[in-house]
Structures are given as C-alpha cells and as structure tokens.
Amino acid sequence: MNNKLISFVRDIYQTNDFIPLHAPTFAGNEKKYVTDTIDSTFVSSVGKYVEDFEKHIEFYTGTAKAVATVNGTAALHTALYMAGVKAGDLVITQALTFVATCNALYHMGAEPIFVDVSKVSLGLCPKATAEYLDANAKLNSDGECIHKKTGQHIKAIVPMHTFGHPVELDELLTVCLRWNIVLVEDAAESLGSFYKGKHTGTIGDFSAISFNGNKVITTGGGGMILCKSFDDGVHTRHITTTAKVPHPYEFYHDEPGFNYRLPNLNAALGCAQMEVLPEFLKQKRILAEQYKTLFSGSDFQFVAEPRYAQSNYWLNAIICPDTENRNSLLKETNKQGVMTRPIWQLMHRLPMFKNALKGDLTVSEWVEGHLINLPSSPVYLGVE
Ligand SMILES: *Cc1c(COP(=O)(O)O)cnc(C)c1O
C-alpha cells in the first residue's frame, strides 16, 4: 500500500516536490483585497473587510451573528466566556482533539473532563457523555449540573468536529437539555460542514471557527465566534473589542474585555477566500472520493463522512489495520516527501492534563493507534 499511496498522491498533485498535509491556496482576489487595505492604511482593527468577512460567514453558515477574532483559540476562549464558564468549572470535551480546545479552558481556570469519541464521527460520543453524567453527576436544587465527587459545576459540553466530520449534535443537545449544560461547538476544522442541513457551529449557543494557515480557508491567523442569539453576538463583539463604549473621544469601558479583534489586513484575505470556498469544497469532495476508491477492498479503511452529515473533508484520514502498518506507512510516505501524520496524542497524556477527570477512552485510544491523515489540499486550478 505504501508505494501505491505515494504514487497516487504524486499523481493527484502533479509534483515531485514535497507534498504537505494541507497548504493554503490563493487563486482569487487575495492580493487585490490585501493591497487595498495597505493602500487605504486601514490594516488594523478598523476597516470594512472585518465587517464584510463577518457578513460572509453569517450568510454562509446562517448564524445570527459572527464575530471575527485573531485566531481560533481566542474565538473558543470568548465562546466559553460567553457561555458562562468560570474558574473552577468543569467542561466535558474530547481527549481526541487538538490542544487548543483544552488550552482555551485552561486559561479560564476551568478543567476538562475527557469523554470518549464515537466511531461514527471521531467526535464526542453522546452515549458516552450521557453515561459519564449518569454515573458521576447530579442536579442541585438550582438545577445546576454538579460533579458528585468534586462538587464542581459542569458548565459546558465542547464537542469538536474532527477533521470536519460533524458530531451527533441532536443527541448531544438532548444530553445538554437533560443536564442543564451549555453546548459550545469547537467548529475550528469544520467550515463548510453541515449537520442535517445546518452548518456546524450553529446548533450550540456559541461556537468557534479557525482560519489558521492549515484550515479549509485561511486569513493567515484568524477565527470567528458564531453566536446563536443576535443579542449575545452584539455582546460578544463588545467584549472582543475591549468593551469600549462608543464615543467620539472618551475612553470608557464597562466590563473586562479582550483585545481579540481580527485585523482588517487578515479579514481582507478572508473575504477573498470565502469567494472560493465553494470551489475548494467541491475539489476536496472529489479528492475524498478518489481516496475512498483507492482504499476500497484493502484492509485500510477510509474515514467517510457520517451518514447524517456533509463533511468539508478538511483532512482525509484512514484507519490502518494495525499500529505496525500505521508506523510503516508514516515512515515511508514522509521519507519520500509525501506528508502524512498520526492523530494528536490524546489530551490526558499531556503533562498539563494528566490529572484531569475522564471516562472510558477505549475508542479514542483505538483511533490514536490506527489513524493516519493524508494530504488534503484542494486540487484547485484557478478562478472559474
Ligand atoms: C485549529 C484548531 C483550533 C484553533 O486554532 P487556532 O490555531 O488558534 O486558529 C482549535 N481547535 C481545533 C480542534 C483546531 O483544529
């Protein structure tokens, strides 16, 4: 399989150079819009592209309000803050995620509870979440969800749409309602992914998207908070911009704020990238189909989108028959300049989260030992 995969990937990208996992593609109005911000001198927090970019995202996702931020971690931090997560609170999330999910919690003084992922989505498993809560939580007289052993408030559930594959959101929402917990989606990887026709990130009260250089589209660095309620969105914008009360010259701030606003320079890139997003997604689906065909009939299993969802196929992935095969494939492909990667080491193995509360993580551990990500940049041939 090793050589078959390498020649397949080289054939797709038509190059003998190094092939990265996911590279940015600029084939639209990127230069034009970025140059425009420089010509206008509005490169920083004021400028029309920030608002245009937010409008693009609102229109595309159907969210009530989108607020642009400096990166996805900042978006997640703000989303959790808006969801009411405070120091000492517990937040249920995946051990199988990128570290940013947990870093955002950590810096609020909150702590993660790691719950297993589902084999269907590779994201937070609703059944495992319900089982964890049944065994470990109670509702107090105020209706708050309390961890029985530690007495801490379990405030939010943060599923992550792994590689763009949407988690089972209806089922998670049922758990949230039963236990009076807020749903915050880490949709960092899932711009362009839909759950039963709804864009990911629009089901939870708040969610976060990332536009880092390796994501589906990029602003260099950047993020977006999606707010289900318009009023929450207005408040979210307020706190990401130092909570300054508008006034022609006075400086007055009415609550603690963040300086998380996306610069206009980056937003310009985002506006141009949004114009080509549909084409990227089309190309990425074609590529996913090609990988699926390549691995069909082999003992490597292609990770396909869940039946209830449409994935953006941000990163293609396969499940190897065993860890030995996985290691050999990783070694050989990388040696030959075709980048592949194992999944992130599970969060509860990292020094700062090793003492975190956790449920059974059988599926997460199985995925950790078997999964490989494959080169997934859209094969994009320029503007139509
Ligand atoms: C990319 C990513 C983030 C946030 O990324 P930034 O680099 O801060 O934009 C958060 N969570 C997950 C799962 C991610 O993949």
Instruction: Summarize pLDDT for 311-330 with one digit per residue, the tens.
Output: 999 999 999 999 999 999 99
DSSP state of 244: B
Give residue 73 CA to ligand 1 midpoint distance, Å: 6
Would you mind telling me the total number of residues written for the chain in this entry? 384
Model pLDDT, residue 381: 60
The domain limits of the chain are 2-25+277-345+370-374, 30-274
Which uninterrupted H or E stretch holds 220?
none
46 against 104, higher pLDDT: 104
Residue pLDDT, tens place only, 44-65: 988 899 999 999 999 999 999 9
Ligand 1 atom with the smallest distance to the CA of 208 is 10
Q: Are residues 110 and 146 in contact, defined by beta-carbon separation less than 8 angstroms?
A: no
Model pLDDT, residue 244: 95
Residue pLDDT, tens place only, 365-377: 999 999 999 999 9
The Cα-based distances of 131 to 94, 125, 128, 304, 358 in angstroms read 15, 10, 5, 26, 12
Residue pLDDT, tens place only, 265-324: 999 999 999 999 999 999 999 999 999 999 999 999 999 999 999 999 999 999 999 999
Nearest CA to ligand 1 atom 9: 72
Give residue 260 CA to ligand 1 midpoint distance, Å: 15
188 lines ligand 1 (CB under 6 A): yes
Residue pLDDT, tens place only, 201-247: 999 999 999 999 999 999 999 999 999 999 999 999 999 999 999 99
97 lines ligand 1 (CB under 6 A): yes
User: Is the confidence at residue 343, as pLDDT, over 90?
Assistant: yes
Q: What is the CATH number of domain 2-25+277-345+370-374?
A: 3.90.1150
383: confidence class by pLDDT, cuts 50, 70, 90:
very low
Nearest to 65 by CA among 245, 269, 206, 261: 206
Model pLDDT, residue 384: 43
Alpha helices for the chain (secondary structure H): 2-13, 30-40, 48-61, 72-82, 100-106, 126-136, 169-179, 230-240, 264-295, 323-335, 362-370
49: how many CB neighbours lie within 10 A of its CB? Answer: 28
Residue pLDDT, tens place only, 171-194: 999 999 999 999 999 999 999 999
Nearest to 311 by CA among 295, 290, 289: 289
Fold classified for 30-274: Aspartate Aminotransferase; domain 2 (3.40.640)
